[in-house]
Structure 1
Amino acid sequence: MARLLVRQAIVRDLPALGRARRVTVDVAPGSSGLGDCSAVRSALAALAPGDGRRVRLYVALVDNVLCAYLVARPDPGRFAWRVLALAAGARQLAAHDDEAQELWTSLLEFTIARAGEDGAKRVFAGCSEGTPEHQSLLRVGFEGYTTHMTLATRHNAGAIETQRGVREQEPSDVWSIHHLYHRVTPRPVQFAEALASSYWECPGTRSRRRIPVGRAAEFAVVYDSQHGIDAYCRIWREDRTCRLELIVDPVSGVDAGLFVLEALNTAHVSSGTIVRVDIPSYQSECVGALERVGFSLRDERIAMVRHTTAPAVQMRLSPLPAVEAAERAVRGAPTFSIRAQSGARNKVSLFRNATSVRGLRTVGTSGSVRRPSAQRSEQQAS
């Protein structure tokens, strides 16, 4: 019987990583970095010194033979992880759909557990519908919350018609951008993504110069009208690739295509750079505008999320029936005395699961109400 082992990758696993015959790379929208490198490159980054907090790599071994691996990227600011790559297959094992699905299911279960231990509340992933990776994600509890259409083009920097109101993001725009997100995004998607206002803060790199090649950098541009922020574009750049996050208010009349081109020029993105943007299904009106400026549809994926925690269930405390003051209360249990009018007897209510409460009056055996200090004095005297 074959023995399956899932663990974190170590250095001696490197030679077997490139032998995977079936590789699935996913870049979910809204990631804090590009992450669109090859699966092997992500795996090497996970094992590189100093990158332990940036990329995680887990492997699945069948009879001590590495047959599959998973690459994930933690996002501490959002208390989330993101699945970047899945790979399966080895020299001794062909990566058929059933076998890959079993291996990926075990890897995903292991990743969800590690993400929960790391403090992450959500794990994000994306895949095409009906694929083995989609079935594996469904088996471990992932749920789709929207569909993303990926469009791409090769940027051609040049003179375009300038739109009044397009400018670089400023620190004071955070609330307006967050309000724009809430106006455009459906509530179920907001619940799945759980973006706080800090997510829209200005990127660290905001200088008006060419974005350096060879390391990731961020840039943000907004369309400011007299009614507030009507469009937002965040640009992630690494090497010769750019990834955009785009939000446009459909009732504002902003041309999404022209806005994206001007945002790229504002960020000084050089010509020849491959630009990709993920458009959610509820922003489908932007697809036509982007296609008019040279973008083309490349892929369509389901955005999925898996919560690592279960909703807390609050226990209800039910009160016990009221007892007569003359009855003896259980020792150590707090009691509540109710001062009644003349001619009526004092009554006391006990509550389950209650603990000792300082300063509460307790009921004696004779039915009178005594203070705790008086009781201690009587005990010391006896």
Structure 2
Amino acid sequence: MIRSFGVRDLLLVGNLQKKGTCLDPEIALTRPYSPLLAALSSYLLLQEGGTSTFILEAMDQSSPSTSPHGERSPERSRGTVEPSGHRQMQGLAQMRQRRGRPEADVIYLAPSFSTADEAPAIWHRLLTHLCTRAGERGIQRLFARLAEDGEEIETFQQVGFSPYTREDIFRLNSLSESHQRLDRVVMRPQQAVDAWALQRLYANVAPRLVQHVESLGERGWERSSVDWPLRARSEGYVLEDNGEIVSYLLFSGGRIGHWMRILLHPQAYDRADEVIQHGLAFLSHYPPCPIYCSVREYEGGLRAPLQDWGFEPFGSQAVLVKHTTVRIKEPARKLVPALDKRAEAATPTMSRINSNRGI
């Protein structure tokens, strides 16, 4: 049985959050994440478009080798064999809808693969439920980020998720005095009127496949000041060259780490040092913490400059998407009474018969 989070689930979620997996690296690396706090905030504030939390509690009566539908179970594909008999299965899943967009991110699943042998089966059930509920809410795409070499990817693919790009995460442990010095200010704060120019920059950076999957329009560049309790306030800056935006810098500070994201035009890689220097100088005003920067596989021109500034490879992740089936309600169509008459055989009138006989 899978149900939406309620007050009766406080204790269960409190226990499950100790052994789950956070799938959003920006959240996991920059601030302690509490699934219980996220679930409670959405529940008490009635935020339908916020964090949706679902609870699985069921007795697993299927055999270890096949699912109830005769398909090979995730446990079997993982290579583990469970003893016969009934098992109590408990799990937790959370997805977060993106503000103003028909998209959501899978951000938390419990238990993790490292803490429970039945985790693949639990994830499979919860992910299937997430996809169904997302479609019912009009969400067209579900996204997830997973360690590139992790076995969790197989379970996501069984539900219909597909990888469409990958990201490398770089880490800078601490800032030196040279990082905090800014020779000259060449970037300005992001403004609402920059949305169309940022969309053009994104089109020049991302491959067609990525653009098609993410479907970022102008609203995709709107920056929210606070998205409590998941994210802190973010700051965006742009770099212009001859009236055209050639780079976008987005960063946010956290309690245990800071996050930085750079979008740089392929023909402006010679200005990567300027952008990185600005980002580090801005983050020097935040409490000292490690700084993380994500770089996608098609942004290779950023890797060497980041390493020149002291960043080191930290990890790689696959970015997956699942296109949901959205339920569309159509009103029943009814013919206008004048048009709803069946075809009838023509009956000749007396005048027509007489005229045919020549009378």
TM (normalized to structure 2)? 0.73
Equivalent residues of 1:42, 1:55 under 8 A apart: no
1:2-25 Cα deviation digits (max 9, x unpaired)? xxx222222333333354475322
Equivalent residues of 2:138, 2:326 under 8 A apart: no
User: What is the CA–CA distance in structure 2 between the aligned matches of 1:185 and 1:160, rounded to whole Å?
Assistant: 29
Q: Which residue of 2 aligns with 1:242?
A: 258
Equivalent residues of 1:233, 1:263 under 8 A apart: yes
User: What is the CA–CA distance in structure 2 between the aligned matches of 1:85 and 1:95, rounded to whole Å?
Assistant: 15
After superposing the two structures, state which structure 1 stretch, 180-189 or 277-286, moved more. Answer: 277-286
Pick closer, same or farther for the CA change 1:70–1:37 going to 2, 3 Å.
farther
Q: Which residue of 1 aligns with 2:313?
A: 297
> Is the aligned partner of 1:172 residue 2:223?
no
User: What is the CA–CA distance in structure 1 between the aligned matches of 2:231 and 2:310, rounded to whole Å?
Assistant: 26
Map 1:193-342 → 2, pairs under 5 A: 193-201=214-222, 203-204=224-225, 216-226=232-242, 228-266=244-282, 269-309=285-325
User: What is the CA–CA distance in structure 2 between the aligned matches of 1:79 and 1:175, rounded to whole Å?
Assistant: 20
User: What is the CA–CA distance in structure 2 between the aligned matches of 1:59 and 1:299, rounded to whole Å?
Assistant: 30
Q: CA deviation at 1:94?
A: 6.1
Q: Which residue of 1 aligns with 2:52?
A: 56
Pick closer, same or farther for the CA change 1:365–1:107 going to 2, 3 Å.
closer
Q: Which residue of 1 aligns with 2:102?
A: 79
Q: Which residue of 2 aligns with 1:187?
A: 208
SS at match of 1:245: strand
Equivalent residues of 1:26, 1:85 under 8 A apart: yes
- Which of 156, 160, 176 aligns to 2:182? It is 160
Larger Rg: 1
1:219-238 Cα deviation digits (max 9, x unpaired)? 11111111511110112334
Amino acid at match of 1:194: S
Q: CA deviation at 1:286?
A: 0.7
Q: CA deviation at 1:265?
A: 3.1
Paired residues in the alignment total 302
User: What is the CA–CA distance in structure 2 between the aligned matches of 1:108 and 1:14, rounded to whole Å?
Assistant: 21
Amino acid at match of 2:132: A
Q: Structure 1 regions of 5+ residues with no counterpart?
A: 206-213, 313-352, 367-382
Measured on the aligned residues, the alpha-carbon RMSD in Å equals 3.5
SS at match of 2:90: strand
After superposing the two structures, state which structure 1 stretch, 263-272 or 119-128, moved more. Answer: 263-272
User: What is the CA–CA distance in structure 2 between the aligned matches of 1:34 and 1:217, rounded to whole Å?
Assistant: 16
Q: CA deviation at 1:358?
A: 10
Q: Structure 2 regions of 5+ residues with no counterpart?
A: 60-86, 347-359
Name the structure where helix makes up a greater proportion of residues: 2
Q: Which residue of 1 aligns with 2:77?
A: none
User: What is the CA–CA distance in structure 2 between the aligned matches of 1:232 and 1:238, rounded to whole Å?
Assistant: 20
Q: CA deviation at 1:297?
A: 1.4
Q: CA deviation at 1:202?
A: 5.2
TM (normalized to structure 1)? 0.69
User: What is the CA–CA distance in structure 2 between the aligned matches of 1:215 and 1:199, rounded to whole Å?
Assistant: 17
